[in-house]
A and B are shown apart, each in its own frame.
Chain A
Amino acid sequence: MGLSITEKSFLFDSLTLDPPLRTDGRGSHQFRPIEVSTDFLPNSNGSSHVILSGGSECIVSVKTKVVDHTVESELLVTDVDIQGHRDDSPLVTSMSSLISKLLKQTIDQKKLMLTKRYSFKLYIDVLVLASKSYPVSMISFAIFSALKNTWLPKLISSDDDLEVEELPTFHDYDMVKLDADAPLLFTFAIVGDSVLVDPSFEESLVSNNGLLITWYKDRATSPIRSVGLNNDNVKGFSQHHLEEAIKLIHKYAPDVERALVSSD
């Protein structure tokens, strides 16, 4: 499914107007409506389901397991599965490498430690049911809401087991909320001279370039990437496009974060 040359040219022209005229009437800083539901999988410690109005959907499950961290140092496992793409396709591998690297940097592994010997190991599984536009933003939103709604069993045994070996025991029903800050990733499309947040599928087709910027702990931070939203309209962009994107993020990302936190 693609657009004809005429459709693309019309879309490109309307998007490069000042202010840009987007197909769904959004402003350049506006997101499409996002529907988030959490905690629907009793088998998982945390779960979230994000629906974008363009027909993209994503499910994230967070599962935990108690491991001996002196043996197993890797406490975070991220797995991305995108429907319609093979597991070894460039999109899936680069997406999962980007996200797992980012989560390893941002999630404080010390907070997963239970005792001096045992830790929780987090398994974050991402399932993208359908995606029309570049899915990374949606995935990061889903991971964010899943981690914000992850409940771990409460430890009742002593947390110092270095001398006296003791297996951790947990409370029968009391749970503790996981304290983790996940980063949010924002995608921008650069079309002509306009910088648009959250590009739809059609907008990605005509964009000249794409930008990926991370929002973490109230500031725009790395990874910052230029990403190809299509293969045949790619052009360079200038420094002020990048600055514009960062300005937009500083202005609107706090609102997005607040909306996601309040959604549960």
Chain B
Amino acid sequence: MSVQDRRRILGPAEAKPLRFAVDSETSIPEEGRTDDKKTGKESVFISTDLVTNANGSSYLEYMDGNSDQVLVMSSVFGPRPLRGSFQSKASVSIQFKEVTLEHFNTGEIKEICTFLTNVFNAVINIEKYPKSGIDIFIDLIQHSNSNPAEEENIIKILPTCINSITMALVDAGIEIIDLVSAGSVDNSVVAFIRNGHEIVGIWSDDDKVSDISRLIEDCRVKYLQNKQTLVQYLR
């Protein structure tokens, strides 16, 4: 099946897409910042289009009730031409940039990447971008745990990563079938689309799970909240 695509004329290697000047009405919504640590409420701060040489980027600050903090930045590069054999659909790759990951082992990071790739394969309209690659990089800037006795848990950062990638994709203008967002309960994360009618990813490490329907229901509630926040920002 490895047929080389000879029909395409590849541009120069350092080609960049055209960019148009944006209106300078940069009003970053500050509602996230106002919620302080003391309020004990969950708070999210969102900002997009920070990385200039990426096609789209987003920055998310997530703080939960116990003042656990997750700071994530995602950047989307692409769709850009893929060299090599012809592919009728886009190929999505998601990777973590190394930094601040010393708490996690590499196997777990790879596992998360495979999982996220599968989630976004389902929501990005990959038929729309033949012969292209969409590369997404996640930068985990900070990740603090209020309870140091507790083991570092990769699941805590997963919903924020999903939300952040969604925002970056929107910023890049890549077609997605719906805004993906995820809700988490204890050690389980479920990613939904279509108002919670469709699941695009489930990751459960909760060994006490007895009723899967309950778990999904709980995650769905969180999903709807998260999605609402994303929608609000985009407005």
Q: Assess A/B contact in the complex (Cβ within 8 A).
A: yes
Residue positions of A touching B, CB distance < 8 A: 1-2, 90-91, 93-94, 96-98, 100-101, 105, 209, 211, 220-228, 231-232, 234-239, 242-243, 246
By the criterion CB–CB under 8 Å, are B202 and A238 in contact? no
Contacting A232 at CB < 8 Å: which of B89, B108, B212? B89
Closest to B105 in A: A97
In the complex the two chains form, is A236's CB within 8 Å of B111's CB?
Answer: no
> Would A93 and B111 count as touching, CB distance under 8 A?
yes
Interface residues on B, range: 35 or more
The residue from A90, A223, A232, A239 contacting B205, defined by CB atoms under 8 A apart: A223
In the complex, are the beta carbons of A243 and B213 less than 8 A apart? yes
- A263 vs B70: C-alpha distance in the bound complex, in angstroms? 49
CB <8 Å contact, B216 and A234: no
The reply to whether A93 and B209 contact each other, CB–CB distance below 8 Å, is: no
Q: Give A220's nearest chain B residue, CB to CB.
A: B212
Does B126 count as interface, using CB distance less than 8 angstroms?
yes
Q: Is the CB of B114 within 8 A of A228?
A: yes
With both chains docked as a complex, state the minimum distance between the C-beta of B146 and any C-beta of chain A, in angstroms: 24
- Which 8 A-B pairs give the minimum distances between C-beta atoms? A97-B107, A228-B118, A236-B198, A94-B111, A234-B121, A224-B204, A93-B110, A234-B122
Chain B residues in 8 Å Cβ range of A223: 203-205
A91 to B111, CA, bound (A): 8
Are A90 and B122 in contact, CB atoms less than 8 angstroms apart? no
Which of the candidate stretches B16-24, B41-49, B186-194 sits at the interface with the other chain? B186-194
Known: A93-B110, A238-B197. A222 touches B122 (CB 8 A): no
Check if B201 is an interface residue, CB within 8 A of chain A.
yes
Q: Please measure, in the bound complex, the distance between the C-alpha atom of A231 and the C-alpha atom of B91, giving whole angstroms.
A: 8
Chain A residues positioned under 8 Å from B106 (CB to CB): 93
Name the contact of A2 in the complex, choosing from B1, B126, B213 (C-beta under 8 A): B1
Q: Which residue of B lies closest to A216 (CB)?
A: B207
Q: Smallest distance from the beta carbon of B220 to chain A beta carbons, Å? A: 9
A97 touches B108 (CB 8 A): yes
Q: Given the interface contacts A228-B118, A228-B121, A243-B212, does A97 sit within 8 Å of B194 by beta carbon? A: no
Is B101 close to A, CB under 8 A? Answer: no
Q: Is the CB of B118 within 8 A of A234?
A: yes
Whether B209 pairs with A237 at a CB distance below 8 angstroms is: no
B200 within 8 A of A: yes
A90 near B113: Cβ-Cβ < 8 Å: yes
The majority secondary structure among interface residues of chain A is mixed
Complex: chain B residue closest to A222, CB-CB: B204
Q: How far is the CB of A211 from chain B (nearest CB, A)?
A: 8
**A-B pairs with beta carbons under 8 Å apart, 7 shown:** A90-B110, A94-B111, A96-B107, A226-B118, A228-B121, A236-B198, A236-B199
Indicate if B117 sits at the interface (CB-CB under 8 A): yes
Contact B118–A94 (Cβ < 8 Å): no
Contacts of A209 in B (CB 8 A): 118, 122
Chain A nearest CB from B114 CB (Å) reads: 5
Asked if A242 and B118 sit within 8 Å, CB to CB, the answer is: no
Are B209 and A227 in touch, CB under 8 angstroms? no
Task: Tell me, in angstroms, the Cα distance from A236 to B196 when the chains sit together.
Answer: 11
A101 to B211, CA, bound (A): 23
Expressed in whole angstroms, the minimum distance between the Cβ of A260 and any Cβ of chain B is 22
- On whether A236 and B193 interact (CB within 8 A), knowing A97-B107, A224-B204, the answer reads yes
B233 contacts partner chain A, Cβ-Cβ < 8 Å: no
- Bound form: Cα–Cα A56–B21 in Å: 55
B199 near A94: Cβ-Cβ < 8 Å = no
Given the interface pairs A94-B110, A236-B194, A239-B216, the reply to whether A224 lies near B122 with Cβ below 8 Å is no
Contact yes or no, B201 A94, CB < 8 A: no
B115 in the interface, Cβ–Cβ < 8 Å? yes
Residue of A nearest to B178 (CB): A236
Give CA–CA (A221, B208) in the complex, Å. Answer: 8
B198/A221 in contact, CB under 8 A: no
CA distance A101 to B7 in the complex (A): 47
Counting chain B CB atoms within 10 Å of each CB, which of A101, A228, A234 scores highest? A234
How distant is the Cα of A236 from the Cα of B89 in the complex, in angstroms?
18
Q: Shortest distance in angstroms between B180's beta carbon and chain A's nearest beta carbon?
A: 9
Q: Which of B156-188 contact A (CB under 8 A)?
A: 187-188
Chain B residue with Cβ nearest A2: B1
Minimum CB–CB distance from A166 to chain B (whole Å) comes to: 35
A242 touches B212 (CB 8 A): yes
Give every chain B residue within 8 A of A222 (Cβ-Cβ).
Answer: 187-188, 204-207, 209
Name which of B113, B188, B193, B212 has the most chain A CB atoms within 10 A of its CB: B212
